[in-house]
Amino acid sequence: MKARFDVLPLRQRLIAMSLAACAVMLVVSMGAHVVYTLWHEREAHLERMEAVAGIAATASTEAVDLRDELLATQVLVSLSAEPTFVSGAVLDADGRRIASWREAAGDAAGPGRGDATVVPRAWLEAGAEVIHEPSHGEVIVLKPVVVDGATRGFVLLQARRGDIGQLLGMHLATEAGSMLLALLLAGLLAARFAAAIARPVGALLDG
Protein backbone atom coordinates (compact mmCIF):
# COMPACT_ATOMS: atom_id res chain seq x y z
CA MET A 1 0.00 0.00 0.00
CA LYS A 2 2.80 2.37 0.93
CA ALA A 3 4.67 1.50 -2.27
CA ARG A 4 1.61 2.33 -4.37
CA PHE A 5 1.20 5.60 -2.49
CA ASP A 6 4.85 6.53 -3.03
CA VAL A 7 4.58 6.22 -6.81
CA LEU A 8 1.58 8.53 -7.03
CA PRO A 9 2.11 12.02 -8.40
CA LEU A 10 2.58 14.73 -5.78
CA ARG A 11 -0.85 16.21 -6.42
CA GLN A 12 -2.65 12.89 -5.88
CA ARG A 13 -0.68 12.23 -2.71
CA LEU A 14 -1.66 15.60 -1.29
CA ILE A 15 -5.31 14.93 -2.10
CA ALA A 16 -5.18 11.45 -0.55
CA MET A 17 -3.55 12.73 2.64
CA SER A 18 -6.11 15.52 2.99
CA LEU A 19 -9.05 13.15 2.48
CA ALA A 20 -7.62 10.59 4.93
CA ALA A 21 -7.21 13.25 7.62
CA CYS A 22 -10.74 14.54 7.02
CA ALA A 23 -12.18 11.02 7.12
CA VAL A 24 -10.54 10.23 10.47
CA MET A 25 -11.79 13.47 12.01
CA LEU A 26 -15.30 12.93 10.66
CA VAL A 27 -15.52 9.32 11.94
CA VAL A 28 -14.34 10.33 15.42
CA SER A 29 -16.73 13.28 15.48
CA MET A 30 -19.63 11.14 14.24
CA GLY A 31 -19.00 8.45 16.85
CA ALA A 32 -18.79 10.96 19.68
CA HIS A 33 -22.00 12.66 18.55
CA VAL A 34 -23.93 9.39 18.30
CA VAL A 35 -22.76 8.23 21.75
CA TYR A 36 -23.66 11.59 23.31
CA THR A 37 -27.08 11.63 21.65
CA LEU A 38 -27.94 8.14 22.88
CA TRP A 39 -26.76 8.99 26.40
CA HIS A 40 -28.74 12.24 26.35
CA GLU A 41 -31.90 10.43 25.16
CA ARG A 42 -31.55 7.88 27.95
CA GLU A 43 -31.19 10.61 30.58
CA ALA A 44 -34.13 12.55 29.14
CA HIS A 45 -36.26 9.38 29.19
CA LEU A 46 -35.43 8.75 32.85
CA GLU A 47 -36.23 12.36 33.72
CA ARG A 48 -39.63 12.07 32.01
CA MET A 49 -40.35 8.88 33.93
CA GLU A 50 -39.39 10.52 37.23
CA ALA A 51 -41.62 13.50 36.49
CA VAL A 52 -44.62 11.34 35.55
CA ALA A 53 -44.08 9.10 38.58
CA GLY A 54 -44.01 12.19 40.82
CA ILE A 55 -47.27 13.46 39.34
CA ALA A 56 -48.88 10.02 39.71
CA ALA A 57 -47.70 9.76 43.33
CA THR A 58 -49.16 13.17 44.16
CA ALA A 59 -52.45 12.28 42.47
CA SER A 60 -52.59 8.99 44.38
CA THR A 61 -52.38 10.41 47.90
CA GLU A 62 -56.15 10.28 48.47
CA ALA A 63 -56.46 6.83 46.89
CA VAL A 64 -53.69 5.46 49.10
CA ASP A 65 -55.00 7.16 52.24
CA LEU A 66 -58.49 5.75 51.66
CA ARG A 67 -57.31 2.54 49.97
CA ASP A 68 -59.69 3.44 47.15
CA GLU A 69 -59.13 1.06 44.24
CA LEU A 70 -61.28 3.08 41.82
CA LEU A 71 -59.38 6.33 42.41
CA ALA A 72 -56.05 4.56 42.13
CA THR A 73 -57.12 2.87 38.88
CA GLN A 74 -58.15 6.21 37.37
CA VAL A 75 -54.68 7.61 38.08
CA LEU A 76 -53.00 4.60 36.49
CA VAL A 77 -55.20 4.52 33.39
CA SER A 78 -54.21 8.13 32.68
CA LEU A 79 -50.70 6.78 32.00
CA SER A 80 -51.95 5.36 28.70
CA ALA A 81 -51.43 8.84 27.23
CA GLU A 82 -47.67 8.19 27.47
CA PRO A 83 -46.86 5.44 24.91
CA THR A 84 -43.67 4.29 26.62
CA PHE A 85 -45.44 3.10 29.79
CA VAL A 86 -46.41 -0.57 29.82
CA SER A 87 -47.71 -1.08 33.36
CA GLY A 88 -48.23 0.57 36.70
CA ALA A 89 -49.46 -0.13 40.20
CA VAL A 90 -50.45 1.78 43.32
CA LEU A 91 -49.19 0.00 46.43
CA ASP A 92 -49.77 0.40 50.14
CA ALA A 93 -46.90 0.92 52.58
CA ASP A 94 -46.34 -2.86 52.75
CA GLY A 95 -46.04 -3.18 48.99
CA ARG A 96 -49.46 -4.77 48.44
CA ARG A 97 -51.40 -3.65 45.40
CA ILE A 98 -54.33 -1.31 45.77
CA ALA A 99 -54.80 -1.15 41.98
CA SER A 100 -52.85 -2.01 38.86
CA TRP A 101 -52.86 -1.30 35.12
CA ARG A 102 -51.28 -2.86 32.06
CA GLU A 103 -50.93 -1.47 28.56
CA ALA A 104 -52.51 -4.50 26.90
CA ALA A 105 -55.63 -4.36 29.04
CA GLY A 106 -55.99 -0.58 29.00
CA ASP A 107 -57.72 -0.72 32.37
CA ALA A 108 -57.39 -2.33 35.77
CA ALA A 109 -55.45 -5.55 35.33
CA GLY A 110 -53.56 -8.19 37.20
CA PRO A 111 -54.00 -9.17 40.85
CA GLY A 112 -56.10 -6.89 42.98
CA ARG A 113 -56.11 -5.74 46.58
CA GLY A 114 -54.31 -7.84 49.14
CA ASP A 115 -51.80 -9.53 46.86
CA ALA A 116 -48.26 -10.38 47.88
CA THR A 117 -45.46 -7.84 47.70
CA VAL A 118 -44.51 -7.11 44.09
CA VAL A 119 -41.28 -5.19 44.70
CA PRO A 120 -38.14 -6.01 46.69
CA ARG A 121 -38.52 -5.34 50.42
CA ALA A 122 -35.33 -3.25 50.42
CA TRP A 123 -36.94 -0.77 48.03
CA LEU A 124 -39.92 -0.35 50.32
CA GLU A 125 -37.83 0.00 53.46
CA ALA A 126 -35.75 2.73 51.82
CA GLY A 127 -38.91 4.81 51.47
CA ALA A 128 -37.30 6.77 48.64
CA GLU A 129 -37.45 6.88 44.88
CA VAL A 130 -35.87 3.87 43.18
CA ILE A 131 -34.96 3.61 39.48
CA HIS A 132 -34.13 0.12 38.25
CA GLU A 133 -33.03 -0.84 34.72
CA PRO A 134 -33.28 -4.62 34.25
CA SER A 135 -31.48 -6.26 31.35
CA HIS A 136 -34.63 -6.86 29.27
CA GLY A 137 -34.86 -3.27 28.07
CA GLU A 138 -37.36 -1.71 30.46
CA VAL A 139 -37.13 0.84 33.25
CA ILE A 140 -38.88 0.56 36.61
CA VAL A 141 -39.55 3.56 38.84
CA LEU A 142 -40.83 3.29 42.41
CA LYS A 143 -42.06 6.60 43.84
CA PRO A 144 -43.23 6.98 47.45
CA VAL A 145 -46.67 8.42 48.16
CA VAL A 146 -46.26 10.79 51.10
CA VAL A 147 -49.23 11.83 53.23
CA ASP A 148 -48.68 14.25 56.14
CA GLY A 149 -44.94 13.71 55.97
CA ALA A 150 -45.15 9.91 56.18
CA THR A 151 -44.75 7.34 53.41
CA ARG A 152 -48.18 5.74 53.11
CA GLY A 153 -47.70 3.92 49.83
CA PHE A 154 -45.92 3.78 46.50
CA VAL A 155 -46.50 4.22 42.79
CA LEU A 156 -44.73 1.61 40.68
CA LEU A 157 -44.29 2.36 36.97
CA GLN A 158 -42.72 0.28 34.24
CA ALA A 159 -41.80 1.74 30.84
CA ARG A 160 -39.95 0.81 27.70
CA ARG A 161 -36.44 2.16 27.49
CA GLY A 162 -37.26 3.45 24.00
CA ASP A 163 -36.42 2.19 20.54
CA ILE A 164 -32.66 2.64 20.75
CA GLY A 165 -32.14 0.68 17.53
CA GLN A 166 -34.38 2.97 15.52
CA LEU A 167 -32.82 6.05 17.06
CA LEU A 168 -29.32 4.72 16.37
CA GLY A 169 -30.18 3.91 12.75
CA MET A 170 -31.63 7.36 12.19
CA HIS A 171 -28.54 9.07 13.59
CA LEU A 172 -26.14 6.83 11.69
CA ALA A 173 -27.96 7.55 8.41
CA THR A 174 -27.87 11.29 9.09
CA GLU A 175 -24.23 11.24 10.10
CA ALA A 176 -23.25 9.07 7.10
CA GLY A 177 -24.94 11.50 4.71
CA SER A 178 -23.21 14.44 6.35
CA MET A 179 -19.89 12.61 6.21
CA LEU A 180 -20.19 11.88 2.48
CA LEU A 181 -21.07 15.49 1.74
CA ALA A 182 -18.17 16.72 3.86
CA LEU A 183 -15.75 14.35 2.12
CA LEU A 184 -16.98 15.53 -1.28
CA LEU A 185 -16.40 19.15 -0.35
CA ALA A 186 -13.04 18.27 1.23
CA GLY A 187 -12.02 16.45 -1.97
CA LEU A 188 -12.86 19.46 -4.11
CA LEU A 189 -10.92 21.81 -1.84
CA ALA A 190 -8.00 19.37 -1.55
CA ALA A 191 -7.79 19.15 -5.34
CA ARG A 192 -7.64 22.93 -5.65
CA PHE A 193 -5.02 23.30 -2.91
CA ALA A 194 -2.99 20.34 -4.22
CA ALA A 195 -2.88 21.87 -7.68
CA ALA A 196 -1.78 25.20 -6.22
CA ILE A 197 1.05 23.48 -4.30
CA ALA A 198 2.06 20.91 -6.89
CA ARG A 199 2.62 23.39 -9.71
CA PRO A 200 5.34 25.49 -8.05
CA VAL A 201 6.93 22.43 -6.43
CA GLY A 202 7.01 20.66 -9.80
CA ALA A 203 8.48 23.72 -11.48
CA LEU A 204 11.14 23.91 -8.78
CA LEU A 205 12.06 20.23 -9.24
CA ASP A 206 12.17 20.59 -13.03
CA GLY A 207 14.41 23.60 -12.73
pTM of the model: 0.61
Residues 140 and 158 sit within 8 Å (Cβ to Cβ): yes
Q: Where are the alpha helices (DSSP H) in the chain?
A: 2-6, 10-59, 61-66, 69-77, 121-126, 164-206
Question: 16-73 pLDDT, tens per residue?
Answer: 777 777 777 777 887 787 777 777 777 877 788 888 888 899 999 998 988 899 999 9
Give the pLDDT score at 25.
Answer: 79
Question: 144-168 pLDDT, tens per residue?
Answer: 998 888 888 999 988 877 655 565 6
Give the pLDDT score at 53.
Answer: 87
Taking the CA atoms of 119, 124, 126 and 127 in sequence, report the sign of the dihedral they define.
positive
